[in-house]
Structure 1
Amino acid sequence: MSNTTSSKIGLGTTGATLVIAASAACFGLVPIFVRGLQDTGAGPATIAFYRYGFSVLFLIPFLPFEKRKRGGALLLMGAGLVLGLSLIGHLEAIRVAPVAAAGVVYMSYPVFAALFAWVLLRQALTWRSFASAGLVVLAAGLLLDPSLLSPEALKALLWAIPAPIAFGFLIVVLSGLAGELNSLERTACGLFGSVAGLLPLALHEGHGSVLPSTAGQWGLVFAMGLGTALIPQILYTVACQKVGPVRTAAAGSFELPAMFLVGWLVFGEAIGVREMFSAALVLSAILIAPSIGAAARINRPVAPSP
């Protein structure tokens, strides 16, 4: 599987965008498993380790060791490590704040992806980039009402901010800075970095052990790893190389309405006009986001999309 995998399997820009949106919807199911594992006593670092550790078991054979791929692999592992550690705050926010509120904080990552793409890939910040990011930020702002959130929830949401910053950076690395790595190698390196960073913290939380202790925990770990990490992450990585970081970030924001549905159907959180309007803004961001392909590279200017 090469860097042009999405082209070889017939994915056009629209198809790749839909794949990213579908993968993001799978990511939006994470709160179900997070709260289930939290109820069994698992800590945030352990839960994040479970999500990615399951996938790494299958992807270890795809870790690249060729000298020419070493730079891209190390960069992706570093980006994955930072993301894994930052997700601890996001998972804590899911525990103490409404799922929708935690989701909208995380959905600010398109802004950071656009900024990192501008700095690292020299991709122009066109009006479409600003508009797409602005719509996502507006959708997030509509749902963050301090009058409806407890001080504990607000504090948790503040500590959740590093996660979207780290994910925005990872998107740019995946789509434009990973060199000659193919899609499976990119996925393996990113997830391996996350697991490496989370392992010491998970061992501390588990007093020297990270293995699930009950059949129920094993079932949640298996379902979370397969359905929200391994399969969707591979598809996401393949597709993001087709459309570039800005549209990847916008299409990935489909995770937000998915989290709304989880909060409503699973946890009984109310969905009103404000929530539905926020979801509509996210969908609008997907439609107007510019598509800048994987040919973009660091130190190479990219012409604005028409």
Structure 2
Amino acid sequence: MIVEKNSHASIMKSVSPQVAGYSMAVVGSVSYGLNPLFALPLYGVGVTPMSVLFYRYGLTVLLMGLLMAVLGQPFHATRRQLVLSLAMGQLFALSSVCLFVSFKLMDAGIASVILFTYPMFVALISWACFHERLSRVALVSFILAFAGICCLHGDSGGRQSVLGVVMAVASGLSYAVYIVGVNRSVLRTMPAFSLTFYASLSGLVLFFVCCGFGLDLSPLHGASSWGCAAGLALFPTIVSLLLVTRSIHLIGSTPAAIIGALEPITALAVSLLVFGGTLTWLNVAGVVLVLFAVCLMMWKNH
């Protein structure tokens, strides 16, 4: 056992912080892109989006609470932090609602690509509300992203496709407001574990109410359904949060944010390879435009 521990320690020491940081960013980003992999099978057996989110947030609160207890992370928060984290949790939950509803209205991979525009909304909100500088590169990126979203509408032209795009954009906007709210308040100094725990708890209460205080909650039947619900809580939520947060400390926010482009790429790959989604050449052009626009803006403005 002593030999094994020493060997393990020497291996960890041989891995540079840069390699570890980039590896964590890749795994964390890919994990977040697995949302469709676990959500769509639940939709397929009749579980409603609100019920899916209730189970996701409920298991997230449970697993995060256990993890915090094991790691000795603090549950304590000041009254102001607690109130604000619960309020921000409603925005976080709204973003989840819009995204998961869009999964039912359009291709889940394309919806995830549109969600990836949230850094642009962050820049726009910061410019409009806090008078931060908006560079020419950012303006060009906005135009490219808008053109990409128009391409992602596809050829269907149906009302559902339009509504799906609107919901995906609303998800990105809600998430951007959440990020700005956290970074511009006392929550900025709140530990990531505590913030996620209380924000998820706030969302859990919302989804419980939206499910008729549990009366309209779709039941989960079988190990497969429970496995999907647990997968949603574990990979796109807890694993993604912990690894991406740690990678930012090791390699910086810009490289980690650019590697975040793997999130929508993963979701798109899952949609195409696992669930038989289809892409037109116009859709492909839209994906390229959105990813290029967001990565360009983040690279030039950090």
> When the two structures are superposed, what TM-score results if normalisation uses the length of structure 1?
0.74
Of structures 1 and 2, the one with the larger relative CO (CA 8 A, separation 6+) is 2
Structure label with greater radius of gyration: 2
Displacement of 1:56: 1.2
User: CA–CA distance in 1 between the matches of 2:152 and 2:216?
Assistant: 39
**Equivalent position to 2:55, from 32, 50, 53:** 50
User: CA–CA distance in 1 between the matches of 2:178 and 2:252?
Assistant: 15
Matches within 5 A, 1:1-306: 19-20=24-25, 22-60=27-65, 61=68, 62=73, 64-67=75-78, 70-119=79-128, 123-145=132-154, 147-175=155-183, 177=185, 178-204=187-213, 207=215, 212-239=220-247, 251-285=259-293, 287-290=295-298, 305=302
Percent identity for Structure 1 against Structure 2: 19
From the superposition, tell whether residues 106 and 175 of structure 1 become closer, same or farther in structure 2 (CA, over 3 Å): same
Displacement of 1:232: 0.5
User: CA–CA distance in 1 between the matches of 2:109 and 2:135?
Assistant: 29
From the superposition, tell whether residues 123 and 253 of structure 1 become closer, same or farther in structure 2 (CA, over 3 Å): farther
From the superposition, tell whether residues 66 and 101 of structure 1 become closer, same or farther in structure 2 (CA, over 3 Å): closer
Stretch moving more, 167-176 or 255-264: 167-176
Displacement of 1:93: 2.0
User: CA–CA distance in 2 between the matches of 1:121 and 1:20?
Assistant: 29
Q: Which amino acid aligns with 2:44?
A: D
Contact between 2:47 and 2:218, CA under 8 Å: does it hold in 1?
A: no
From the superposition, tell whether residues 183 and 88 of structure 1 become closer, same or farther in structure 2 (CA, over 3 Å): closer
Contact between 2:148 and 2:289, CA under 8 Å: does it hold in 1?
A: yes
From the superposition, tell whether residues 74 and 16 of structure 1 become closer, same or farther in structure 2 (CA, over 3 Å): farther
Q: Which amino acid aligns with 2:104?
A: R
How many residues align? The count is 280
Deviations 1:149-171 (A, max 9, x none): 42233234334442111111222
From the superposition, tell whether residues 208 and 94 of structure 1 become closer, same or farther in structure 2 (CA, over 3 Å): closer
Stretch moving more, 73-82 or 217-226: 73-82
> When the two structures are superposed, what TM-score results if normalisation uses the length of structure 2?
0.75
Deviations 1:125-179 (A, max 9, x none): 223433444443333222113x424223323433444211111122234455423
Contact between 1:81 and 1:193, CA under 8 Å: does it hold in 2?
A: yes
Contact between 1:143 and 1:274, CA under 8 Å: does it hold in 2?
A: yes
* Between structures 1 and 2, the one with greater helix share: 2
Displacement of 1:257: 2.0
Gaps of 5+ in 1: 1-8, 293-303
From the superposition, tell whether residues 133 and 148 of structure 1 become closer, same or farther in structure 2 (CA, over 3 Å): same
Q: Which amino acid aligns with 2:267?
A: M
From the superposition, tell whether residues 287 and 53 of structure 1 become closer, same or farther in structure 2 (CA, over 3 Å): same
Displacement of 1:79: 2.0
Gaps of 5+ in 2: 1-14
User: CA–CA distance in 1 between the matches of 2:96 and 2:215?
Assistant: 21
User: CA–CA distance in 2 between the matches of 1:247 and 1:257?
Assistant: 17
Q: Which amino acid aligns with 2:211?
A: A
Q: Which amino acid aligns with 1:271?
A: L
